[in-house]
Amino acid sequence: MSKGEGNQSKWQGRARKVAGKVNLAWWLEKLGVPLLITALVASCLILLARRELEQFPVAEAVITGGVLLLSMLGIAWLVARRHFESPDDAMVRIEASMKLRNSLTAARHGVTPWPEMPERIDDGTRWHWPRLLSPVLAAALFLAASVFLPVSAKSDPNAGPLDEPQAWKDIEADIETLSEEDTVQEQYLDELEERLEELRKQKEEEWFSHSSLEATDALQKAHGAEVENLERNLRNAERALNALQKHGPNMAEGARQRLLNEFENAVRGMENGAMKPNQALLEQLRELDPEALNNLNPEQMEQLRDAMKDAAGKCQQCEGGGGGGGGGDEWLDDLLEEGGGGDGAEGPGQPGGEGPGKGGINRGPGTAPGVLGKLGGDVETGDLEGLEGKDLSRSLPGDLLELQDGEHDIDKTKVGPRAGGQVAEEGRGGDRIWKDALMPDEKKALKEFFK
Amino acid sequence: MDHASETEVADAGKHIRSLNQALNTVLFGQEELIDLVLTGILSRGHILLEGLPGLGKTELVKGLARSLHLDTKRIQFTPDLLPGDITGNPVLQEVEGRREFVFQPGPLFTNIVLADEINRASPKTQSALLEAMQERRVTVLGKTHDLPAPFFVLATQNPIELEGTYPLPEAQLDRFLFKLEVTRNDVETLERIVNHRELGTEPDIQPIMDADTLNGVLALVRRIFLPDVVANYIARLCDATHPGQSTAAANIKFGASPRAALSLAAAAKARAVINERTNASFEDVKLVAPAVLRHRIILEYNARVEGLTPNEVIATLLDEVPFQANATPRTLQATAPAGS
């Protein structure tokens, strides 16, 4: 091979390399946007698949991804092909960059000999790494995000049973407690169990839906109200019995009647309520004659009261039960504390009360003090009471509140009629002279003088 | 057509180098101007020299004529100069006993015409000259007279004292291959002029080549290889001067004509011979582009008001248009600006 041919071969080899580099750059450029779009779409599909499918189809995804990638590479190559350079074009690029004065082109046409190849060849370009890598990195980021982002599948076979709402568990616990202790009748518990089952029969994904939670809430509230109602009735009945037992013989007729009514109301409330105490207790209470409490021996009475207290206590332990316990029945406690000796219970506002009370062991007859609100201090004649200004926003230091005799400050200057019906004040002193006596020229002169 | 060989080019290069050296003894400190004048001459083009009086324009032309051993005539253009005064007139003469009109050639019938202050002549006279420049022949009373070969016009015009002048129309400016700007000398050059020249005396210049040799070199220039890629660069460069074809052309109202492209090609070939190469190159085109294009592009009014000059626009254009036609992908970064 001659020297000329050697140079030609070297230059052409180099030109092929440069052409390859430029063509690869074109291919990568055309690949950038489709890669980004495909990665974005693929990421969405992966996320969707992870969300919707029970088991993510890894093999299918890899195959589809591979096919997509290959198609994209092919399409990008086809698009980029229009821009591809031949080695001859690359040779022009080299000679332009290296300022070879088109000697390579001339040599290629046989006009001049091939020049010697220098050690360093510069084609005038270098890789634009940020532009080159940004689509690849962005695509990788999209795909990684779609794979690693925590997304819970709609129905994961590996996941355990869905945790039901806490309210259901509470109601279930109440049912178990009440059923085990045999506190209330089974019918209510069965109904409650049945309604709870209805809620459970819904699809699991609907357990926490708005309607389901609302129904749960309503059931829990109704159950709570029933528990509270039973508990209150039991306590009322027990306390009424207690009061009757303790103070029955010494009690005033009104108070005794009221306790009897209370007891009957409580028993009726228990009978009418959805949640009834256990059959044995209810029967006992029904058969009990409050008028004939003396007929019961203390042990029987104590047993009955214990049964009622126990039942009320269990009701109170229920999650659905409130902390009620006979709210608004303080009069009964008072009565028990007072020993039932007075008639003061018949005060205003009390059932059966007429006018002021007749007094009790703690107070005399008459209207209870403070019935109409907080009592103020008595102000008698001659007493001194300090006045205090609450709103000091409009007061000024030195303001004096006082009344005094005086006249309004009225301008009593005579006012004379003027032409055209106008009325003008004549003024006083120098002002009057200024207005009435001086001519315009004199006024002007004076104004000039005093300026 | 067979391309010029390296030997032929080297032989021509010797003559041109001698010519260049001779002209540099006439005009100090104007190496670039002399280079471009020689390029214009070797391209068979006419040259418009623009510069202030006393910068040596006429001396350069006279020196060129002497060194080329060519006939030269100088025409001082004035407003009352008539076309017949430069082309020649038929004169009634008695020939062989008969009276007939005999054509008396004007000063155009020479090898090198120095048209001083061409913009002072009326448009009628200017157009007569410009027609002769283009056709290289003169028609008087229906009879065509060929001008001698080679025929060059080196016209001058003064950029100041524009009152009473007739600026050359753009179409006529296009006939000039180059418009060269003769700039003032620096201190060192002025010192050389003072030391080596005297007022009223002309430098002694020996003829370097005769008309035949010059014609041979001119023929050689035509045989210089112009690669397709360089022709493509010339075409893209000229196209880019038109509004909408490039960013730089936003300030251009009218772009360069195809004649400008031909001029660029011819001048690039001439540069190749001067540099003793057998092929024209991108760099040759880039070097002669300002001289070829500056009088062929018409700037927008706004650009002129803003003080933009054709030279600045052309510089931007040359930076914008890359040598190679193929675009570079954006995934590659150019290590040097386009067109460098």
What ipTM, to 2 d.p.? 0.83
For residues A182 and A218, membership in a common domain is answered with: yes
pLDDT at A411 over 80: no
Mean pLDDT of B133-140: 88
For residues B211 and B257, membership in a common domain is answered with: no
For residues B330 and B235, membership in a common domain is answered with: yes
Q: What percent of chain A has pLDDT over 90?
A: 13
CA B141 to CA B129: how far, in whole Å? 16
For residues A134 and A216, membership in a common domain is answered with: no
Query: Looking at CA atoms only, how far is residue A21 from chain B in angstroms?
Result: 9
Helix axes A58-81 and A3-52, enclosed angle (nearest 10): 140
For residues B248 and B188, membership in a common domain is answered with: no
For residues A115 and A244, membership in a common domain is answered with: no
Mean pLDDT of A130-152: 89
Average pLDDT, chain A: 77
pLDDT at B67 over 80: yes
Q: What are phi and psi of B186, to 5 degrees?
A: -85, 180
pLDDT tens digits, A100-133: 889 999 999 988 889 998 888 888 889 999 998 9
Which of B189, B223, B257 finishes a domain?
B223
Residue B301 CB-density burial (10 A; 0-12 exposed, 13-18 middle, 19+ buried):
exposed
Question: Please, which residues have CB within 8 angstroms of residue B292's CB and are 6 or more apart in sequence?
Answer: B177, B178, B256, B260, B263, B264, B267
Nearest by CB: B330 against A85, A96, A131: A131
Question: Please, which residues have CB within 8 angstroms of residue A242's CB and are 6 or more apart in sequence?
Answer: A305, A336
pLDDT score at A201 = 86
DSSP result, B174-188: TT-SEEEE-PPP-HH
CA A360 to CA B287: how far, in whole Å? 128
CA B124 to CA A35: how far, in whole Å? 68
Which of B223, B255, B280 finishes a domain?
B223
pLDDT score at B285 = 95
DSSP result, A365-422: SBPPTTTTSPPPPP--TT-------S--TT--TT----------------EEE-GGG-
> Quick one: which H or E segment has residue B67?
helix B57-67
For residues A197 and A138, membership in a common domain is answered with: no
For residues B265 and B172, membership in a common domain is answered with: no
For residues A246 and A126, membership in a common domain is answered with: no
For residues B76 and B218, membership in a common domain is answered with: yes
**A87 interfaces chain B, CB cutoff of 8 Å:** no
For residues B176 and B126, membership in a common domain is answered with: yes
pLDDT at A35 over 50: yes
More confidently predicted of A214 and B340 = A214
pLDDT tens digits, A269-325: 888 888 888 877 778 777 777 666 666 677 777 777 787 777 777 777 765 544 444
More confidently predicted of A319 and A410 = A410
Are B334 and A125 within 8 A, CB to CB? yes
- Chain B environment of A127 (Cβ under 8 Å): 331-333
For residues A177 and A108, membership in a common domain is answered with: no
Which of B223, B243, B277 finishes a domain?
B223
Least confident of A266-275, A322-331, A353-362, B45-54: A322-331
More confidently predicted of A329 and A371 = A371
pLDDT at A2 over 60: yes
The Cα diameter of chain A in Å comes to 144
Mean pLDDT of B59-76: 87
For residues A25 and A75, membership in a common domain is answered with: yes
pLDDT at A343 over 50: no
- What CATH code is carried by the domain that includes residue B59? 3.40.50.300
For residues A62 and A173, membership in a common domain is answered with: no
Report how many Cβ contacts below 8 Å link chain A to chain B. 94
Average pLDDT, chain B: 88
Least confident of A43-47, A397-401, A409-413: A397-401
pLDDT tens digits, B87-131: 998 888 888 888 888 889 999 999 999 898 888 888 888 888 888
More confidently predicted of A391 and B255 = B255
pLDDT score at B230 = 95
Are A102 and B334 within 8 A, CB to CB? no
What's the pLDDT band for A226 if we cut at 50, 70, 90? Answer: confident
pLDDT score at A20 = 94
Mean pLDDT of B297-325: 90
- Chain B environment of A89 (Cβ under 8 Å): 324, 326
Cis check: omega of the bond before A34, within 30 degrees of 0:
no
Mean pLDDT of B63-79: 88
More confidently predicted of B151 and A178 = B151
Here the tokens at position B98 are 């008969």
In this structure, is residue A272 part of a structural domain? yes
Using alpha carbons only, give the angle B160, B161, B167 rounded to the nearest 5 degrees. 80
In this structure, is residue A352 part of a structural domain? no
pLDDT score at A264 = 83
Structural domain count of chain B: 2
Which of A309, A342, A375 finishes a domain?
A342
> Which structural domain range is residue A143 located in?
3-148
Which chain A residue has the Cα nearest residue B283? A101
CA B323 to CA B337: how far, in whole Å? 10
pLDDT score at B61 = 84
Q: Identify the CA nearest to B73 among candidates B40, B108, B44, B104.
A: B108
Are B279 and A103 within 8 A, CB to CB? yes
Q: Identify the CA nearest to A217 among candidates A260, A166, A261.
A: A166
Cα end-to-end distance, chain A, whole Å: 119
Are B322 and A89 within 8 A, CB to CB? no
CA A99 to CA A101: how far, in whole Å? 5
**A25 interfaces chain B, CB cutoff of 8 Å:** yes
Q: By the 8 A CB rule, do B256 and B291 touch?
A: no
> Which structural domain range is residue B267 located in?
225-340
Query: Looking at CA atoms only, how far is residue B73 from chain A in angstroms?
Result: 38
For residues B207 and B281, membership in a common domain is answered with: no
pLDDT score at B313 = 93
Which chain A residue has the Cα nearest residue B334? A125
CA B192 to CA B51: how far, in whole Å? 20
CA B164 to CA B183: how far, in whole Å? 24
pLDDT score at A379 = 62
* Residue type at position B285: V
Q: Which runs of E-coded beta strand occur in A100-220?
A: 125-127
Here the tokens at position B312 are 């600045």
In this structure, is residue A414 part of a structural domain? no
- What CATH code is carried by the domain that includes residue B323? 1.10.8.80
List beta partners, residue B333.
A126
pLDDT at B316 over 90: yes
C-beta neighbour count of B280 within 10 angstroms: 31
Here the tokens at position A362 are 């703690």
pLDDT at A326 over 50: no
Which chain A residue has the Cα nearest residue B226? A106
CA A334 to CA A326: how far, in whole Å? 13
Least confident of A3-12, A154-163, A182-191, B162-171: A154-163
In this structure, is residue A421 part of a structural domain? no
Residue where the block lists tokens 């219970």: A345
pLDDT at A159 over 60: no
* Residue type at position A141: L
Are A92 and B323 within 8 A, CB to CB? yes
> Quick one: which H or E segment has residue B87?
helix B83-87
pLDDT at A346 over 60: no
Characterize the bridge pairing of strands B112-116 and B72-76.
parallel
**A83 interfaces chain B, CB cutoff of 8 Å:** yes
Which of A317, A342, A367 finishes a domain?
A342
Could you tell me the CA-to-CA distances from A189 to A10, A186, A272, A277, A313 in Å, in that order? 98, 5, 16, 11, 18
Which of A294, A317, A342 finishes a domain?
A342
pLDDT score at A224 = 86
